[in-house]
């Protein structure tokens, strides 16, 4: 430890600490631009100059490490003179266009200029002009003359985003921030550059010129998208969400947000919002009063339960619904006498149901990901499914962690991958079994009978062996299963094998979790096996068509594992009640549309994949006649005379679920009574590999206009290995017809030699592939 003194105050800090960090710990503010606690030190703005005893000239506090006995003066005459000098230089070329600048009011340069700048400029000469750039639909680089070349945006790309999309070209006075060959910035974390830019050079394209920052009120909320549970500051003007910024939470999202969390708010104000209850009568949709609509629903459900049996009612909800909504939905359905309720809409293998020790979860704290030294990632589109978790894994690799990957696609994760095995979905269990075998041999362990059969049937490949060695050599090992592994038709076998691998190398073992409430759904008992009596799971409910469906936030053709089957079931039902924030395709098959509110217009709770319970309040009033779903379900429960539906507020619902519950005890990834067999699943011909594209995951983000203009939201194409294309005599770029069972889609086909042979990669969750069948399994390709 080192003792230093800053402005007369003494502090003891560790060796290597910078003067600026030491000062911040003392609560002493040193002006700065290029310094950022999460980025490397560039020391190029010179705003942080301070006086240090015995140093002949002022030194940059961000780049000066502490030394024993150092005496620092941050506000001495020499320091202030230096800081004022730097400020004068920074302002020389700055356009000083604050009145028309979007950053005005939250600009670090503006703030510091007030403190350190002169009231008039001595500079009379011509200012330099830097031309604007178009770097994509999210980040505006329209006024690059404002740039002070701090390179925070560049360092963010390299260090946190994992790709150097922006750089500083040219030199000295001519230096400019730009992308290579006027490319766009496509990082799924790009919005953070807007926050980092200390001036108004990089601004938010969707938000620009729509409000002044001081007109906005700031309300805390939680992201409803991925399973991380990012903390949001939702900024509101005139009862409209204008913008979303991160709230710093070191254990969750640090100071970042993914672009999905940041820009999805545009979907809240979409023209497709459903604002009035509607009933279909004689093939026409009529707007009705809430009372009428709810009575219609209550009567319909009562009648179906009465006449054909309650088990003819099924309820489906998205995992983006709140804990309260999910809980009341299952309570309503169970109150009616049915147990058919599920939120795991894209799952296809339910054989682990009630054989698992608890709700599948991350198995560790999010913050601990950074400290893992060996990863085995199984079936995950990590970067797109979990942008900020991917960034944490990336940080871990910077500290030397090795990443082993078993998956069906080889998308660039923008981090070094130590070993990877890219195989078709049907081969995934085999690869895991090989790794398990290699580990067991190395550790001379006898394997549990549940995995013996499959392990005996395989011989570890060199890669599997390398993975096993990598995992065995780690101290803090994590085996993590992604969305793809959870949606996989052999999900429970993958889980079982991963569990045994984890056991052999003392690893933590868990699931990334698909959506904001993937853990919460279990806690809310929105699963068919939560009770003594079991009902049908999401897939069974569609396979054995029900007479009535209640859909909570669900768009049947986009949110389900098998859209074809889902639409058929909806079409055949006597009654479909769609609780939705949007008017969507349900108008084709539903009988009632109940306008419910998205997360910004209701209070609620999400339980993130690490088991973190985060409740939030509504940030704006419900739009039109839309109402929070928990209230709608409450009224329905009362109308149907189901006991226990008189809650005063959503907190009462939450407390009923969580108070007195030992949450950690409810989480558990260990399987009992499942066994893995060799080659239990095979597909003849080509098999489908599906991802749910990052901006197609849920109803809100699908309607976020700017996100829909990004490259990630481009119309899906069918991707195949060129060997497979040749077999079919197809050219890359041609239009093909893809067929699964009795539905087809027309897409252009592109050669992608990073894919394994025998697969076609086709995105799910998108309108153009909504006629297709299950996300996994056989698929036919022919020239269109």
Partner 1 sequence: MLSEQVRAKTDRELKKYPPDRKQSAVMSALRFVQDEKGWIDTADMADVAAYLGMPQMSVYEVATFYNMYNLKPMGRHTLTVCTNLSCQLVGAMETLNYIKSKLGIGVGEVTADGKFGLREGECQNVCDEAPLFMINNKKTCGHLTKEKIDQILAELDKE
β-strand partners of 687: 759, 778
With CB under 5 to 8 Å by kind, the binding choice for 60 among ligand SF4, partner 1, ligand FES, none is: ligand FES
Query: In the chain, helix, strand, coil percent, each to 5?
Result: 35, 20, 45
Sole window of 157-165, 244-252, 363-371, 597-605 interacting with partner 1 (rule: CB under 8 A): 157-165
Sole window of 101-109, 163-171, 365-373, 696-704 interacting with partner 1 (rule: CB under 8 A): 163-171
Q: Looking at 159-289, list the stretches that DSSP marks H as alpha helix, in order from N- to C-terminal side.
A: 192-196, 259-263
> Is 176 or 287 the residue whose CB approaches partner 1 more closely?
176
With CB under 5 to 8 Å by kind, the binding choice for 364 among partner 1, ligand FES, ligand SF4, none is: none
Place of tokens 């178009």: 134
Q: Binding mask 142-181 vs ligand FES (x if CB under 6 A, - otherwise)? A: ----------------------------------------
What is the four-CA torsion angle of 314, 319, 325, 329, rounded to 10 degrees?
Answer: 10
Tell me which residue of 179, 170, 223, 218 sits closest to 202, measured CA to CA.
179
The rounded distance, in Å, linking the Cα atoms of 406 and 423 is 8
What is the four-CA torsion angle of 319, 321, 327, 329, rounded to 10 degrees?
Answer: -100
Sole window of 20-28, 156-164, 232-240, 292-300 interacting with partner 1 (rule: CB under 8 A): 156-164
> Is 156 or 589 the residue whose CB approaches partner 1 more closely?
156
Pick from 28, 32, 628, 773 the residue near ligand FES by CB under 6 A: 32
The rounded distance, in Å, linking the Cα atoms of 538 and 314 is 9
Pick from 58, 60, 489, 716 the residue near ligand FES by CB under 6 A: 60
State yes or no: residue 400 binds partner 1 (CB under 8 A). Answer: no
Q: Distances from the Cα of 649 to the Cαs of 223, 540, 628, 634, in angstroms?
A: 21, 34, 11, 10
Tell me which residue of 124, 201, 122, 525 sits closest to 344, measured CA to CA.
525
Q: 71-73 and 133-134: which strand pairing?
A: unpaired
Smallest distance from partner 1 to CB 34, Å: 17
Pick from 20, 72, 196, 755 the residue near ligand SF4 by CB under 6 A: 196
State yes or no: residue 167 binds partner 1 (CB under 8 A). Answer: yes
State yes or no: residue 150 binds ligand SF4 (CB under 6 A). Answer: yes
What is the four-CA torsion angle of 632, 636, 637, 642, rounded to 10 degrees?
Answer: 180
Smallest distance from partner 1 to CB 611, Å: 38
Smallest distance from partner 1 to CB 583, Å: 43
What number of other Cβ atoms are within 10 A of residue 403's Cβ? 22
What residues numbered 535-594 form the site for ligand SF4, per CB under 6 A? Answer: none
State yes or no: residue 147 binds partner 1 (CB under 8 A). Answer: no
Tell me which residue of 711, 784, 664 sits closest to 138, measured CA to CA.
711
> Is 164 or 735 the residue whose CB approaches partner 1 more closely?
164
Binding-site residue total for ligand SF4 (CB under 6 A)?
Answer: 14
State yes or no: residue 29 binds partner 1 (CB under 8 A). Answer: no
Pick from 201, 317, 455, 590 the residue near ligand SF4 by CB under 6 A: 201
> Is 54 or 171 the residue whose CB approaches partner 1 more closely?
171
Sole window of 43-51, 67-75, 93-101, 758-766 interacting with ligand FES (rule: CB under 6 A): 43-51
With CB under 5 to 8 Å by kind, the binding choice for 169 among ligand SF4, ligand FES, partner 1, none is: partner 1
Interior angle at CA 463, CA 457 and CA 467, nearest 5: 95
Q: Binding mask 408-427 vs partner 1 (x if CB under 8 A, - otherwise)? A: --------------------
Smallest distance from ligand FES to CB 64, Å: 9
Smallest distance from ligand SF4 to CB 149, Å: 5
Burial 121-132 (b: 16+ CB within 10 A, else e): eeeeeeeeebee
Place of tokens 């002949």: 56
Question: 312 near 548, Cβ under 8 Å?
Answer: yes
Integer-rounded Cα Rg, in Å, for the chain is 28
State yes or no: residue 391 binds ligand SF4 (CB under 6 A). Answer: no
State yes or no: residue 189 binds ligand SF4 (CB under 6 A). Answer: no
State yes or no: residue 153 binds ligand SF4 (CB under 6 A). Answer: yes
State yes or no: residue 180 binds partner 1 (CB under 8 A). Answer: yes
State yes or no: residue 747 binds partner 1 (CB under 8 A). Answer: no
What number of other Cβ atoms are within 10 A of residue 441's Cβ? 13
State yes or no: residue 82 binds ligand FES (CB under 6 A). Answer: no
Pick from 6, 19, 28, 35 the residue near ligand FES by CB under 6 A: 35
State yes or no: residue 700 binds partner 1 (CB under 8 A). Answer: no
The phi, psi pair for 285, rounded to 5°, reads -90, 125
With CB under 5 to 8 Å by kind, the binding choice for 46 among partner 1, ligand FES, ligand SF4, none is: ligand FES
Smallest distance from ligand FES to CB 248, Å: 19
Sole window of 18-26, 56-64, 165-173, 279-287 interacting with partner 1 (rule: CB under 8 A): 165-173
Q: Distances from the Cα of 775 to the Cαs of 347, 486, 559, 761, in angstroms?
A: 9, 12, 11, 10
Pick from 102, 142, 165, 421 the residue near partner 1 by CB under 8 A: 165
Sole window of 32-40, 88-96, 161-169, 681-689 interacting with partner 1 (rule: CB under 8 A): 161-169
Question: 306 near 447, Cβ under 8 Å?
Answer: no
Sole window of 39-47, 113-121, 439-447, 660-668 interacting with ligand FES (rule: CB under 6 A): 39-47
Class of residue 696 by CB neighbours under 10 A (exposed 0-12, middle 13-18, buried 19+): buried
Long-range contacts of range 472-475, CB-CB < 8 Å, 24 or more positions apart? 472/439, 472/442, 472/443, 472/504, 472/505, 473/374, 474/372, 474/373, 474/374, 474/402, 474/505, 474/507, 475/373
State yes or no: residue 66 binds ligand FES (CB under 6 A). Answer: no
Structure tokens at 21: 């960090």
β-strand partners of 548: 313, 575
The DSSP H or E segment spanning 493 is: helix 491-504
> Is 147 or 293 the residue whose CB approaches ligand SF4 more closely?
147
What is the four-CA torsion angle of 245, 248, 252, 258, rounded to 10 degrees?
Answer: 30
With CB under 5 to 8 Å by kind, the binding choice for 164 among ligand SF4, ligand FES, partner 1, none is: partner 1
> Is 179 or 774 the residue whose CB approaches partner 1 more closely?
179
Class of residue 145 by CB neighbours under 10 A (exposed 0-12, middle 13-18, buried 19+): middle
Give just the sign of the alpha carbon dihedral 70, 74, 75, 79: positive
> Is 169 or 723 the residue whose CB approaches partner 1 more closely?
169
> Is 47 or 657 the residue whose CB approaches ligand FES more closely?
47
Do you know the residue count of the chain?
784
Structure tokens at 258: 């993914």
Sole window of 88-96, 192-200, 285-293, 541-549 interacting with ligand SF4 (rule: CB under 6 A): 192-200
Chain residues in the site for partner 1 (CB under 8 A): 158, 163-171, 179-181
Chain residues in the site for ligand SF4 (CB under 6 A): 147-153, 177, 196-199, 201-202
Chain residues in the site for ligand FES (CB under 6 A): 32-35, 43-48, 60, 62
């Amino acid at each position: 430890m080192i003792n230093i003194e800053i402005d007369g105050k003494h502090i003891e800090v560790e060796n290597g600490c910078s003067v600026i960090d030491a000062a911040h710990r003392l609560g002493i503010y040193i002006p700065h631009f290029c310094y950022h606690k999460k980025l490397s030190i560039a020391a190029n703005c010179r705003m942080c100059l301070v006086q240090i005893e015995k140093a002949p000239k002022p030194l940059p506090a961000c780049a000066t490490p502490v030394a024993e006995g150092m005496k620092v003066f941050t506000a001495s005459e020499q320091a202030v003179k230096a800081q004022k000098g730097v400020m004068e230089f920074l302002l020389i070329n700055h356009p000083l266009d604050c009145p028309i600048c979007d950053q005005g009011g939250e600009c670090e340069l503006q703030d510091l200029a007030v403190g350190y700048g002169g009231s008039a400029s001595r500079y009379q000469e011509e200012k330099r002009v830097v031309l604007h750039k178009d770097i994509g639909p999210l980040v505006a680089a329209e006024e690059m003359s404002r740039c002070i070349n701090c390179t925070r945006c560049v360092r963010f790309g390299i260090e946190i985003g994992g790709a150097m999309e922006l750089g500083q070209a040219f030199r000295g006075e001519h230096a400019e921030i730009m992308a290579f060959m006027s490319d766009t910035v496509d990082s799924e974390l790009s919005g953070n550059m807007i926050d980092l830019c200390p001036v108004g050079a990089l601004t938010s394209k969707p938000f620009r010129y729509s409000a002044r920052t001081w007109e906005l009120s700031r309300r805390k909320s939680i992201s409803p998208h991925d399973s991380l549970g990012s903390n949001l500051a939702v900024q509101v003007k005139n009862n409209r969400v204008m913008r979303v910024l991160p709230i710093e939470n070191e254990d969750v999202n640090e100071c970042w947000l993914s672009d999905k969390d940041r820009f999805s708010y545009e979907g809240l104000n979409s023209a497709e919002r459903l604002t009035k209850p509607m009933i279909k009568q004689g093939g026409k949709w009529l707007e009705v009063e809430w009372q009428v609509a709810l009575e219609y629903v209550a009567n319909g459900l009562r009648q179906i339960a009465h006449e054909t049996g309650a088990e003819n009612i099924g309820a489906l909800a998205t995992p983006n619904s709140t804990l309260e909504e999910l809980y009341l939905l299952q309570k309503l359905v169970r109150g009616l006498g049915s147990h058919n309720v599920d939120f795991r809409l894209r799952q296809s293998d339910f054989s682990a149901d009630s054989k698992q020790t608890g709700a599948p979860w991350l198995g560790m704290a999010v913050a601990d990901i950074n400290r893992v030294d060996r990863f085995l990632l199984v079936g995950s589109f990590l970067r797109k499914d979990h942008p900020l978790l991917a960034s944490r894994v990336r940080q871990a690799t910077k500290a030397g962690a090795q990443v082993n990957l078993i998956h069906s696609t080889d998308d660039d994760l923008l981090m070094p991958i130590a070993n990877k095995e890219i195989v078709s979905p049907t081969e995934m269990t085999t690869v895991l079994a090989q790794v398990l075998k290699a580990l067991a041999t190395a550790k001379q362990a006898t394997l549990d009978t549940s995995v013996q059969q499959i392990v005996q049937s395989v011989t570890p490949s060199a890669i599997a062996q390398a993975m096993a060695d990598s995992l065995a050599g780690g101290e803090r090992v994590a085996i993590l299963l992604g969305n793809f592994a959870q949606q996989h038709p052999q999900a429970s076998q993958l889980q079982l094998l991963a569990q045994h691998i984890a056991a052999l190398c003392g690893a933590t073992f868990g699931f990334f979790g698909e959506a904001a409430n993937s853990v919460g759904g279990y806690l809310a008992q929105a699963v068919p096996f939560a009770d003594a009596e079991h009902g049908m799971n999401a897939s069974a409910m569609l396979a054995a068509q029900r007479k009535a469906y209640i859909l909570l936030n669900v768009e049947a053709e986009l949110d389900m594992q098998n859209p074809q089957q889902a639409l058929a079931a909806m079409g055949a039902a006597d009654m479909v009640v769609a609780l939705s924030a949007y008017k969507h395709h349900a108008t084709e098959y539903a009988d009632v549309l109940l306008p419910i509110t998205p997360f910004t217009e209701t209070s609620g709770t999400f339980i993130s994949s690490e088991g973190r319970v985060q409740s939030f309040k509504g940030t704006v009033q419900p739009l039109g006649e839309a109402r929070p779903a928990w209230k709608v379900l409450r009224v329905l429960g009362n109308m149907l005379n189901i006991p226990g539906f008189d809650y005063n507020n959503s907190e009462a619902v939450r407390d009923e679920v969580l108070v007195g519950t030992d949450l950690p005890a409810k989480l558990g990834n260990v399987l009992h009574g499942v066994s893995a067999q060799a080659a239990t699943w095979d597909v003849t011909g080509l098999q489908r590999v599906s991802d749910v594209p990052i901006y197609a995951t849920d109803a809100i983000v699908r309607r976020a206009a700017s996100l829909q203009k990004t490259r990630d939201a481009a119309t899906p194409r069918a991707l195949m290995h060129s060997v497979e294309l040749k077999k079919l005599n197809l050219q890359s770029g041609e239009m093909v017809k893809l067929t699964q069972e009795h539905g087809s889609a027309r897409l252009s086909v592109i050669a992608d030699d990073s894919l394994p042979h025998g697969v076609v990669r086709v995105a799910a969750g998108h309108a153009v592939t909504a006629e297709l069948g299950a996300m996994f399994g056989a698929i036919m390709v022919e020239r269109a």
